[in-house]
Structure 1
Amino acid sequence: MSDPGPSPRQSSLPAAAVHFGTHGHGRGVDAFGGGRPAIPAAPAPPPARPLPRAPAPFSAPVLPGASALSEVSALSGVSAPAEVAVPTAPAPAPRRILGGPNGLGTAGLYPTRREEASAPSTPAAAGNPIPGLLYHPVPEPDPVRVEEVGRRIKAWAVDEVQLFPPDWEDQFDGFSLGRYMVACHPDAPTVDHVMIATRLMAAENALDDCYCEDHGGSPVGLGGRLLLAHTALDPLHTTTEYQPEWAESLHSDAPRRGYRSAMEYFVREASPSQADRYRHDMARLHLGYLAEAAWAQTEYVPEVWEYLAMRQFNNFRPCPTITDTVGGYELPADLHAQPAVQRVIALAGNATTIVNDLYSYTKELAAPGLHLNLPVVIAEREGVSARDAYLKAVEVHNDLMRSFEGAAADLAAQLPDPGLLRFLRGVAAWVDGNHHWHQTNTYRYSLPDFW
């Protein structure tokens, strides 16, 4: 009998993936019409498994275990948004923006009944949106959940990892991590799930401040510091002789203490593929930090396209890419790795990062030295005024948003897998929550007087 040859490779991709890419395009977002394309609704998933409480005291890095999250199929639908107007000035006026969810609203994103009582919804907090910016307004995050996440993250930062000295407390409080992460993860089934993202966000911001930015950061020697901090996410496998020195080093400064602890919590709930995905995206982030640091050392102002390339790495991508872990389910690795899925995630990260450039513009201008952001680079490289550069940066953001929403709509039409639809909703919710936090965080941000 002849050798039949190797068995065909098996995949966890749904059957619909066989036909992926064979459909025509045409579900992209028109510049001013119809708001965000609707992602088809799917059945509500079963309740997520409760998260464990605090991990055991650290002795060596905790590697991902076998207890991966169970896969959840989908989440409830949200009707397509209506279009509304965008402001032409910060004062209340007719607005033209891509509208936010209506119908079931944000409540439709929750896959399980919340474990804590909800307070009545309140109007959005103060803060003017950038005139002309395309965004989706969201309801003010649940104040009960916001308060609890805020309480827990401060206890973690102060008591568990000593993330900041006492004189930084007002800045930590002003960051409003609770409001930020609750707004970005409306489908998180419990506060414990929201805390997964909140610790990681707090740790990454501590590293950015201490290694790169205004709390002692410097481009000089940044590569070595980043590499050693990255081993708190991606453990060092070395000899018995040198292992204890490395393990001790993870407690040596606030960024490494934060990274180690936040990752320890994360891997207790993430599957091995989800944890590896996050490590990969954090390596991307650190590569972007190094590019910006190299330009600072050589006093090089990049071309606009070069700056946007750097910002695809130095951006928020690690945050929306874990939306399934925070939601209590998993998008399979081979589906997550599809180029079309990667494009949606990259565009979401790029758009949300330019939002940061725009809202933090005046804050960065007030800081010493030249701080690169998109309006500054456009003004320098294209020889236009600060105002014209800022307004062009708004249009760059809008182009990225249209591309993100068009790519997500095409993907949902071509591969309507329930888990993927839920993941796309989660990424879109992160984009919307990120804008809401920037718009309303008047402690940190104010708009330039360009209108």
Structure 2
Amino acid sequence: MCWRTCRSPATAAERRPPRGPSAQGRPTRRPPRRRSALRRPPRGRAPKETVVRAVSRPLPGRVPARPRQSTSSEEPRSSGAVMSTEALGRILRGPNGLGTAGLRLAREQEPPPSAEPAASGPPAAGSPVPGLYHHPVAEPDPGRSAEVARRAKTWAIDEIGLYPPEWEDQFDGFDVGRYMVACHPDAPSVDHLMAATRLMIAENAVDDYYCEDHGGSPVGLGGRLLLAHTALDPFHTTRELHPRWEESLGSDAPRRAYHSAMGHFLDLASSSQADRFRHDMARLHLGYLAEAAWDQIDHVPEVWEYLAMRQFNNFRPCPTITDTVGGYELPADLHAQPAMQRVIALASNATTIVNDLYSYTKELDSPGLHLNLPVVIAEREQCSRREGYLKAVEIHNELMHQFEAEAAALAAACPLPPVTRFLRGVATWVDGNHHWHRTNIYRYTLPDFW
């Protein structure tokens, strides 16, 4: 097989600040959101028996569902293979010749982002976090974004009853159409984009209903997540019991969403791609459970512990399907290579810190101590909120440089078209994710730390 002949590059040894005292008297906290679809009203912790359940309804049938650009600035610092600047530039530029234009990793014809913080006052609405290493992208195609948004609302509200009509403005504010088009600009059709969009909305629904404000609670979370996971990874049981499980899939909104979204995804994905996604969703659910456990014992993790949890409770299920949404497949043996797994993990970790940084001010308005990276740094290192936030920016930047260097080294070690295209797709997802966070002023504003 090809991967046996590909050299793996060397690898390196590999949320809102407290509103009261950081030691005794710390306010009750709740788990940080990963990427909630809706703005949440304040709430106290819901006991197990008050967890929201939508009215049971039959499972919906499938509805047809339907698609990019590119960006680099600073020279990546490799934590693995060492190479010259000239060689690294050649790798990022990618192959040349007939038919290779879509395989380049470099972000072309874009000015490097400014690394200088604003002189004073908070950044203007829609501005990037000052000093954050990122690659600007062009505004996603408005026609395609609007069509994805229209189909997404029809599916989520009308077809499966995921959210009640009174939350429609919050659903619109999530701006999922623009989000998905920015992250998957190479999708060949809106149907391909909708596969990613439904999964994104379903994942947010699980976070909303099970973990966050719309009935969420750490109490009993494991059981709820396990049953929801069977909507992605089907339950195999006796003929007598199977109908009861099937009926349960329509019994609440999150399970309906998972089941319907997965069904649409399977229309496009290979068996290997589907299993890869299930694995990453299991990782996500494990991260939810770690946060819930800490919440129940009022534990503020150390910085490295928080980042370990965020490696599981993060965006990984989204970039990992970039090939399915792009209409091709990265073979399973290539996807499973340790070097590829490291690249995906670094990208996912960096994009999740982006969420922590942009949602920081929003989380100040929720009750209790809401964990995110700046908060954990400030708590554990006994520094100011500002210092914790700026240190989180530095951590993000280092992870981004590692991601880019490791991706370039892997592309050099195994320069196959599906590998190169997949790496480029993950990098594009990273850029699109940042663009959505930066420009979604309905949801996010930045703190006044500059």
TM-score greater than 0.5 by the shorter chain: yes
Cα distance in 2 between the residues matched to 1:359 and 1:404: 20
C-alpha distance in 1, partners of 2:339/2:168? Answer: 42
Deviation of residue 161 (structure 1)? 1.0
For normalisation by structure 1, the TM-score amounts to: 0.79
Identical counterparts, % of pairs: 69
One-letter amino acid of the counterpart of residue 81, structure 2: H
Per the alignment, residue 305 of structure 1 pairs with: 304
Q: Corresponding residue for 1:155?
A: 154
Counterparts of 1:178 and 1:28 in 2: how far apart (Å)?
A: 40
1:77 aligns with 2:104: yes
Amino acid at match of 1:174: G
| CA distance in structure 2 between the aligned counterparts of 1:147 and 1:312, rounded to whole angstroms | 32
Residue aligned with 1:75, SS? helix
| Count, aligned residues | 379
Q: Which has the higher contact order (CA 8 A, sep 6+)?
A: 2
- CA pair 253-425 structure 1, distance change in 2 beyond 3 A: same
1:127: which partner in 2? 126
In the alignment, residue 117 of structure 2 is paired with which amino acid?
T
Which segment is superposed worse, 165-174 or 224-233? Answer: 165-174
CA deviation string 1:101-139 (max 9, x = no partner): xxxxxxxxxxxxxxxxxxxxxxxx960100000000000
Shift of 1:214: 1.6
What residue ranges of structure 1 are gaps of 5+ in the alignment? 1-10, 46-72, 96-124
Q: Which one-letter code corresponds to 1:186 in the other structure?
A: P
Are residue 197 (structure 1) and residue 196 (structure 2) matched?
yes
1:88 counterpart residue number: 117
1: CA distance, partners of 2:241 / 2:423: 43
> What residue in structure 2 maps to residue 329 of structure 1?
328
Q: Does 1:25 align with 2:81?
A: yes
Residue aligning to 1:316: 315
TM-score, normalised with respect to structure 2: 0.80
Letter of the 2:102 partner, please give it: L
Q: Is the CA contact (8 Å cut-off) linking 1:28 and 1:406 kept in structure 2?
A: no
Partner of residue 95, structure 2? 41
Q: Which runs of 5+ in 2 are unaligned?
A: 12-79
8 Å contact kept, 1:41–1:75: no
Alpha-carbon separation, structure 2, partners of 1:15 and 1:271: 22
The correspondence of residues 167-316 of structure 1 with structure 2, limited to 5 A, is: 167-316=166-315
Cα distance in 1 between the residues matched to 2:160 and 2:290: 29
- Distance in 1 between residues matched to 2:156 and 2:370, nearest whole Å: 28
Instruction: Provide the secondary structure at the position in 2 that maps to 1:296.
Output: helix
Contact 1:44 1:76 (8 Å CA) reproduced? no
The DSSP-based 3-state class of the residue aligned with 1:38 is helix
One-letter amino acid of the structure 2 residue matched with residue 40 of structure 1 = G
Q: Distance in 2 between matches of 1:237 and 1:353?
A: 34
Q: CA deviation at 1:322?
A: 0.2
Alpha-carbon offset, residue 418 of structure 1: 0.8
1:28–1:410 contact (8 Å) kept in structure 2: no
Partners of 1:84 and 1:227 lie apart in 2 by 42
Q: Is 2:418 aligned against 1:419?
A: yes
Q: Which sits farther off after the overlay, 125-134 or 164-173?
A: 125-134
Distance 2:209 2:232 in 1: 17
Task: Kindly report the root-mean-square deviation, in angstroms, between the aligned alpha carbons of the 2 structures.
Answer: 2.6
Measured after TM superposition, the shift of residue 192 of structure 1 is 0.7
- The alpha-carbon distance between structure 1 residues 222 and 83, as it changes in their structure 2 partners (threshold 3 A), is same
Q: Deviations over 1:73-103 (max 9, x none)?
A: 993436554534224118899x9xxxxxxxx
Q: Distance in 2 between matches of 1:20 and 1:43?
A: 25
Instruction: Give, as a single letter, the amino acid of the residue that structure 1 aligns with 2:249.
Output: L
Question: Counterpart amino acid of 1:86?
Answer: A
CA distance in 2, matches of 1:273, 1:258: 22
